Amino acid sequence: MRYTVVMDTVRIAMRIYGLVQGVNFRSSTCREAERLGVVGLVRNEPDGSVRIEAEGSREAVEELLAFAEHGPSHARVDRTERELVPVLREHSFRILR
């Protein structure tokens, strides 16, 4: 019997709270997303948090969001929030201002 594995695309939005701005969080996240083949965006929010929207295979997106749960070495992540959002079929990962 043969089985076919279908890679479903997901998009998950995550807000990261703590000391996450001014510590290379966005650039580190972008590099990790590109390494994993994840598309989407990362941006600073006015309240001091960072928002990530990550789209790709569930496994790759989960790996990126696991990275975001601790962030780069100078970051301090206090808490995160996640939600599934509609897939947009983007072609790259972008850093927004």
Q: Is residue 74 part of a domain?
A: yes
Per residue in 6-15, pLDDT (tens digit) is 458 999 999 9
Catalytic residue list: 26, 44
Asked if residue 86 belongs to a domain, the reply is yes
Number of domains in the chain: 1
Task: Look up the domain containing 88 and give its range.
Answer: 9-96
In a domain, 14, yes or no: yes
- pLDDT tens-digit map of 28-66: 999 999 999 999 999 999 999 999 999 999 999 999 999
CATH of the domain at 37: 3.30.70.100
CB 90 within 8 A of CB 21: no
Instruction: Answer yes or no: is 1 within a domain.
Output: no
CB 12 within 8 A of CB 65: yes
Tell if the pTM clears 0.85, that is, is over it.
yes
